[in-house]
Chain A
Amino acid sequence: MQNTSNSARNYAGEPLPELKIFPNRLLKADTTEALLSGIYSIPQVRQINVHGETLPAKVKSGPHTGIPVNHPERRVIRYGDQEILLTMMVGAIFVELKDYDSVDEALEGIKKVCDELLPFGYTLDVGRYSKFRPSLNDHLKSRC
């Protein structure tokens, strides 16, 4: 999981609603950038987390261990006023909303963004897919 915020994980402490966008294809960095920009422009959005297939910086096995991979999809992306190093091909996007009342409105906005950017299809679900308060593991790894 990659948090799109540069800060430590930002737990709400309560199970706010989450939207799961599951594209039918793994996304390129350009599409991810545009998608995140579109989603971030929706005012009801509190936080976005992305999942995907990791793109290593270096070859980690075989006879050429240690040489750079130079994958073109592993690059810095910008959205809103933030930038992050994208280290994966994104396969799922989890959008946490600010409150329960904004679900329908946010869903409509996100659907519009997805229809435009994901012509190969996607599924969009509402639920709660990740933890909303720090776990023991977070304390041990000093992530909160």
Chain B
Amino acid sequence: MAYKRQFYPGTTVPAVNRRRYLDPSQNLKKLREVAMDDVVRILGHRQPGEEYKSIHPPLEEANEPDCPIRQLVTPLEGAKKGDRVRYVQFTDSVYFAPISPYQRAWMYLSRYRGIDTGTLSGRQIIEMRERDLEVIAKEFIENETFDPALTGIRGATVHGHACRLDENGLMFDAWQRYEWDAKKGEVVYVKDQVALPLDKRISVGKPDSMENLKKRTTIFRADGVDMRDDKEVTMYGLRIHKLRTLAGFQPFAMKGE
């Protein structure tokens, strides 16, 4: 029987969401529209319309050696053109953000190729060829893994993911890269991801209600869905813990498990 890929156990809302985000056959819902030029402005790596800087000649001109791996792997557009590797970093609040950094890593690696990603407690960086990065950044600002109030685009000084929200319901940001537009009820970016003021205000839309966010999140919380309430998820965690404790990096060596 052919192996059927599995993604995540469990029946509770966060478990089902995790499974859906990880499964590349599931399309993520697009919730908002942000212009590509505005995404480029927020990323801050180049000006909109500016040529991409390159770090090596296009592969077509590069006289690549005869290598089976090179023949096997189709390069990304950015790699073909010799783009620089640039980054985008998302910060996710612990207050029921649609996704959390660890699941971001799983999701990125499950859905995309040509990325390097790193997980920290509150943030998740993606490093990638510049033109491909811009496409992915736009996708992740527009889709359901992003909430304007609880997800931040922060290149540095990301502190705030575990802080209480402010009075407008926004995640704390010491550099105030985005602000609350009370008239429109929207979150507006006024600085790029490394705090350089933008020459225009970029709206990323209205935050979702806390009630809806609890249905969209992948975060288990005692005041939401407790992980211990999902028996399958708990058993999966315990099993990994047991195998790691007893067999280290050779879980297959355990007999009867």
Contacts and interface: CB of A to CB of B under 8 A. Distances in A.
Interface of A: 23-28, 31, 53-56, 59-64, 67, 69-73, 89, 91, 120
Interface of B: 155-157, 159-160, 163-167, 169, 172, 174-176, 179, 194-196
A69 to B, nearest CB: 6
Contacts of B172: 26, 53, 89
Given A25-B167, A26-B164, A67 B174 contact: no
Given A26-B167, A120-B167, A59 B176 contact: no
Contacts of B155: 62
Contact of A26 (B156, B163, B176): B163
A51 to B, nearest CB: 12
A53 to B, nearest CB: 5
Classify the interface of chain A: helix, strand, loop or mixed: loop
A19 B154 CA distance: 36
A126 to B, nearest CB: 22
21 contacts: A25-B164, A25-B165, A25-B169, A26-B164, A27-B167, A28-B167, A53-B160, A53-B174, A54-B174, A59-B157, A59-B175, A59-B195, A62-B157, A62-B194, A63-B194, A63-B196, A67-B195, A72-B179, A89-B172, A91-B164, A120-B167
Contacts of B166: 25-28, 89
B184 to A, nearest CB: 17
Contacts of B179: 72
A31 B166 CA distance: 11
Contact of B176 (A27, A54, A63, A70): A70
Contacts of B165: 25-26
Contacts of B159: 53
A110 B234 CA distance: 44
A64 B167 contact: no
A67 B196 contact: yes
Contact of B174 (A27, A28, A56, A70): A56
Nearest 4 CB-CB pairings of A with B: A62-B156, A62-B194, A71-B176, A26-B166
A26 B157 CA distance: 18
A70 B157 CA distance: 15
A24 B195 contact: no
Given A23-B164, A63-B194, A67-B196, 12 more contacts: A25-B167, A26-B165, A26-B167, A26-B172, A53-B160, A53-B163, A61-B157, A64-B194, A69-B175, A69-B176, A89-B166, A89-B172
Contacts of A59: 157, 175, 195
A61 B155 CA distance: 10
B189 to A, nearest CB: 15
Nearest to A54: B174
A60 to B, nearest CB: 7
